[in-house]
Amino acid sequence: MNKIYNAILDDAIGMARRAGDVQLDFFRSKDLEIATKQNDFDVVTAADKASEAIIVDCISKKYPDHSILTEESGFSHHNSHEWQWVIDPLDGTTNYSSGLPWFNVSIGIKHNGVAVAGVVYAPKLNELFCATLGGGATLNGKPIAPSGTPLLSKAVVSTGFPYDKAVNPDNNLNNFKRIMPIVRGLRRLGSAALDISYVAAGFLDAYWEMNLNEWDVCAAMLIAHEAGATALRFRPDRNWSILACNPHLESQLLELLSTDSR
């Protein structure tokens, strides 16, 4: 299956680069249309929709039987349960709409329910993270691995806050208060896929966030696993609540991340 996974990965890279080119065309443009979805914190732009259209069109033409799950359009079942593409056409939309460079295209491919290929492409940063199941993980073609930082006191970590933070008291603030004083640094980069990929590459020592969606993390979690990092769900009751870290920090962080953050 490795040849099949590698071929699909190559196609996903091509789709991600095409979508990234569209994002660069719109970036910091006066023509960028910005709207909101669930609330004022949850934004969507013309670039999100154009990027998704490109990727979905490419998949539908080359893999017409494959299912597709995307952030903007939801689930398209097609004719097969065997293959599924899980897509965030523009992860980090708030950054993007504000003119900040931490945004990306995230494309994960699942075979019989297991992620087997993944691409996270940050066009403004020229960073292309890739992985296949059993094939390792790379950044711009070079193998990556997580950091070896052994203690939280020496760790630089990242987090984020759910879109329902204003109305749901289970909003990660207690976790933030527990962890922030005991780490070397705590960052809020605004893109789950990049945060996890940065843990995979050793740029961050750890990352956690609550109430994400599968399209936010599918590709990046495979990249993390293949790089040798920990990437797991620590709050099954809060959608995709993810901890990614180097293996030395896993038990230390799980003790601090409560099962109920209220």
Query: Are 213 and 87 contacting, i.e. CB atoms less than 8 angstroms apart?
Result: no
pLDDT at 44: 64
CB 101: neighbour CB atoms within 10 A? 14
How big is the CA angle at 47 (ends 160 and 43), to the nearest 5 degrees? 40
What domains can be seen in the chain, in order of their start residue?
2-142 (3.30.540.10), 152-256 (3.40.190.80)
Residue with tokens 């490419």: 58
Structure tokens at 10: 């190559």
Query: Are 223 and 217 contacting, i.e. CB atoms less than 8 angstroms apart?
Result: no
**Taking the model in full, what pTM does it have?**
0.93
Give 60-107 pLDDT, tens digit per residue.
999 999 999 997 666 665 556 799 999 999 999 999 999 999 999 999
Inform me whether the pLDDT recorded for 255 exceeds 80.
yes
Give 92-101 pLDDT, tens digit per residue.
999 999 999 9
By the 10 Å C-beta count (0-12 exposed, 13-18 middle, 19+ buried), 49 is classed as middle
Give 17-66 pLDDT, tens digit per residue.
999 999 999 899 877 765 544 444 444 678 889 999 999 999 999 999 99
How big is the CA angle at 173 (ends 170 and 175), to the nearest 5 degrees? 95
In the chain, which ranges are continuous DSSP H helix? Answer: 2-26, 46-62, 93-97, 173-179, 192-201, 214-227, 250-256
